[in-house]
Amino acid sequence: MIYLDYAATTPMSERSLETFTEVARHYFGNPSSLHDAGSSASTILNKCRRKLAEIVNGSEQGIYFTSGGSESNILALQSLIDANKQKGNHLITTVIEHSSVLNLFAKLERQGYEVTYLPTNNEGQIELDTLKKAVRPNTILASIHCVNGELGTIQQIDQFGEFLHSRGILLHCDSVQAFGKLPIDIQKMKVDSISLSSHKIYGPKGVGAVYIDPSVHWIPQIPSTSHERGFRPGTINVPGIAAFITAAADMIDEMQTEKKRMGDLRENLINLLSDIPYQLIIEESATSQLPNILGLRIVGMEGQYAMLELNRHDIAVSTGSACQVGRQQPSKTMKAIGRTDEESLQFIRISMGKHTTNEDIQRTGEFLRSILDKYFDEQ
């Protein structure tokens, strides 16, 4: 199979698998236990915490390991909001956040919080002036993602952080799609918290992390929780965390090389599709685009049909949105950038990764051309 859905999930790397097996076999103790087996596991955990802090240019006191990106978003946001609710009840987020963020904010609205959902421009970017106009005297926190997972649009987080901090407002950044592909520097980004996920960077599923600036106050969601300094209950997944950090370190080492290679592959695919005699529209940002994601709209064809036909040829791509009861739903990002329901349903996302080759891109272009020829000949 040609796998082109890396923005959804990635296979575990060999080094990550080896690390997981080694730690699970030899360091299986509960890191909270006081015996030697527990101490050995705790040593591994502390090394992982220090390494991740180094990668994001933060303090190891701010690292909390979780079960993944969704839990990271929910726990970070709720813990920060609860600790600052005496300052106000207004929150800011965007219309194109991950569902974990949007679902939490919908819940908070039912609890009496006021939420402003920022619109995007026609490339999926949040503009600074839009954020400035949304701020109120009672705003306590904003949650804005680093990279949009459907289009690959990169947000100007450092600008948002600088402005919000000047107003005494916290900023959380869902960095799941950006981590390992872009530098994540806590100091330069000027954020108060970030969320990360292992399975997007060739680590195991069910592992993630939160960074919260140690100077920022937060409130535990479960009182008397002892694990992760009260941030999250449950025995720590030391093998999974070790495998996560191994994968993260490898991604950072390869980041610049892979960024260029992804850009070349993306450009090759665009060139292969450029002379197809049907209307294909590239949905992207002209100035701030993650190179491994290509959002594509085929005028006159539903994205789900294209996805299923490519799958029939052993090529895995995505429609960029969840399918419910067998029917594709309009992409919320496409709707946000001004596309109609019909146009939104034409969207597919091709996302490349470290195992993607030029041959894969060539074959994908050829199969997509043949699928379009057959489809439009029959219309």
| Token duo for residue 344 | 């939104």
Which of the residues are catalytic?
A: 323
Structure-block tokens of residue 137: 């005297």
3 state SS of 63: strand
Give the separation between CA 315 and CA 371, rounded to whole angstroms.
12
In the chain, which ranges are continuous DSSP H helix?
14-26, 36-55, 69-84, 99-110, 128-134, 157-166, 186-189, 238-273, 303-312, 332-336, 341-344, 358-377
Cα separation, 248 vs 250, whole angstroms = 5
Q: What is the DSSP letter of 227?
A: G
Given the structure tokens 């402003």, which residue do they identify?
116
Rounded Cα–Cα distance for residues 224 and 233 (Å): 9
Per-residue tokens: 186: 């806590």
